[in-house]
Amino acid sequence: MDIPLTLEELRQQWNEVLDSVERQDRITWMAFFDARLASFDGKVLTLDYSDSGKFGGSHQFPETRLRQLNLLKAAVKEVCGVEIEVEQSP
């Protein structure tokens, strides 16, 4: 039986996850670089962009977001060894 990944463990490995994303697509890396890991229940990671208001716009770009989310999920699996889903807050 696998031991579930905790939010704290994911936070500790987050820079490695972002490095993996950056190696594949710098634009996607930029989209997630400012995200705060708000919660993780072992399966669903919630990203919070409440600080993104300083950029004057949302981080939601529907035409590219699905590809970016898939790249992020693949990077988490590569670095942490777990499959996750991702939710986003404003």
What is the pTM for the complete model shown?
A: 0.81
Q: For residues 24 and 46, give the distance between their C-alpha atoms in angstroms, rounded to a whole number.
A: 22
Of the candidates 12, 54, 68, which has an alpha carbon nearest to the alpha carbon of residue 37?
12
- What the block records as the tokens of 13 is 């490995």
CATH number of the 7-89 domain = 3.30.300.180
User: Can you give the pLDDT at residue 10?
Assistant: 96
| Average pLDDT for 55-84 | 81
User: Can you give the pLDDT at residue 29?
Assistant: 94
47 phi and psi, to 5 degrees?
Answer: -100, 140
User: Can you give the pLDDT at residue 89?
Assistant: 79
Q: Where are the domains of the chain?
A: 7-89
